[in-house]
């Protein structure tokens, strides 16, 4: 059983290490509404209105509260379908939610709709999320809003751990789906570009990207980041606008091996 107090401490450390502007969010899919934490706000019940999931994510981060959504709380249909709260109607699969506004043809719209990441229908009944540093539940995953330099640090940490890159699907739509479903369904890291809905309706800066990972990755990434700080790969990144700057010895050595005899290291 994961230690919630430890997760809280790790979240605070990660936020400080990366100098994040917004708190890291914990996310969990629930198979029954009976599992919704008692401290979670429900948009329709507690606020008197529906919220698109991107708006609810932003509210949880900015206000520091836990929010749970079922189908009945939601305003945008894409996460309803993506999270498996409803089966996609044929009209959706034909591409009509994309064509003609954001798809050249109905076929292009259908290609997008049919490839939308989705949980199995009716597997989950609700989603709950809130600041990772103080939630009352053990999350499935965490997600954070990062500037490119902060995202770079997380990708470097992943490379340091196992040498493998992050392979992710990028879409111009449904950021609330792409940042959640593949992470939980495939137990993998995802990088998501905020969709126009996230920027327009949730007010997220267009300079942000979204990094999502299984909760088990939190302590592993935190192992890497302090080490990277001791090297040229840690934050803050030192700027060296100089031609023929001194190379690290490994770079120079390998360069010479492939015929770059002119390179050098200090």
Q: pLDDT tens, 71-107?
A: 999 999 999 999 999 999 999 999 999 999 999 999 9
Q: What is the total count of domains within the chain?
A: 1
Q: Whole-structure pTM over 0.85, yes or no?
A: yes
Domain span holding position 228: 4-86+121-233
68, 80 contact by CB (below 8 A) = no
For residue 125, being part of any structural domain is answered with yes
Please provide residue 241's backbone torsions phi and psi, each rounded to the nearest 5 degrees: -85, 80
Q: How far is CA 63 from CA 5, 46, 88, 122, in A?
A: 21, 14, 32, 30
Determine, yes or no, domain membership for 110.
no
Mean pLDDT of 140-144: 98
Report d(CA 41, CA 136) in Å as an integer. Answer: 13
Handedness of CA 35, 39, 45, 49 (dihedral sign): negative
**Please, what is the average pLDDT of the chain?**
96
Whether residue 55 is contained in a domain is answered as yes
Tens-digit pLDDT profile for residues 233-259: 889 887 878 899 889 899 999 999 999
- The answer to whether 76 and 52 are in contact (CB under 8 A) is yes
Query: What is the per-residue pLDDT for 167?
Result: 95
User: Is residue 265 included in any domain, yes or no?
Assistant: no
pLDDT band at 196 (very low <50, low <70, confident <90, very high): very high
Residue pLDDT, tens place only, 147-176: 999 999 999 999 999 999 999 999 999 999
Does residue 252 lie within any of the structural domains? no
Beta bridge partners of 129: 27, 67
Q: Which residues of 229-262 are buried (b: 16+ CB within 10 A; e: fewer)?
A: eeeebbeeeeeeeeeeeebeeeebeebeeeeeee
Beta bridge partner(s), residue 130: 26
Phi, psi of 129 (to 5 degrees): -155, 155
188 within domain boundaries: yes
């Amino acid at each position: 059983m994961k230690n919630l107090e430890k997760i809280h401490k790790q979240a605070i450390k990660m936020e400080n290490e990366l100098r994040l502007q917004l708190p890291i969010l914990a996310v969990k899919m629930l198979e029954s509404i009976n599992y919704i934490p008692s401290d979670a706000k429900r948009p329709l019940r507690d606020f008197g209105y529906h919220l698109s999931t991107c708006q609810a994510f932003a509210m949880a981060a900015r206000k520091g509260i836990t929010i749970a959504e079922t189908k009945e709380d939601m305003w945008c249909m894409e996460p309803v379908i993506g999270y498996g709260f409803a089966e996609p109607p044929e009209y959706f699969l034909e591409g009509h939610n994309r064509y003609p506004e954001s798809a050249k043809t109905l076929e292009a719209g259908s290609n997008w709709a049919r490839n939308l990441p989705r949980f199995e229908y009716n597997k989950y009944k609700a989603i709950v999320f809130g600041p990772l540093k103080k939630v009352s539940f053990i999350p499935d995953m965490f997600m954070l809003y990062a500037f490119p330099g902060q995202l770079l640090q997380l990708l470097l940490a992943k490379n340091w751990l196992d040498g493998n890159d992050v392979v992710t699907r990028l879409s111009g739509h449904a950021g609330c789906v792409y940042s959640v479903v593949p992470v939980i369904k495939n137990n993998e890291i995802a990088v998501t570009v905020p969709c126009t809905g996230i920027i327009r309706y949730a007010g997220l800066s267009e300079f942000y990207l979204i990094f999502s990972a299984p909760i088990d990755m939190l302590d592993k990434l935190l192992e890497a980041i302090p080490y990277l700080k001791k090297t040229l790969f840690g934050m803050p990144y030192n700027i060296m606008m100089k031609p023929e700057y001194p190379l690290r010895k490994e770079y120079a050595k390998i360069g010479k091996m492939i015929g770059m005899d002119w390179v050098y290291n200090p």
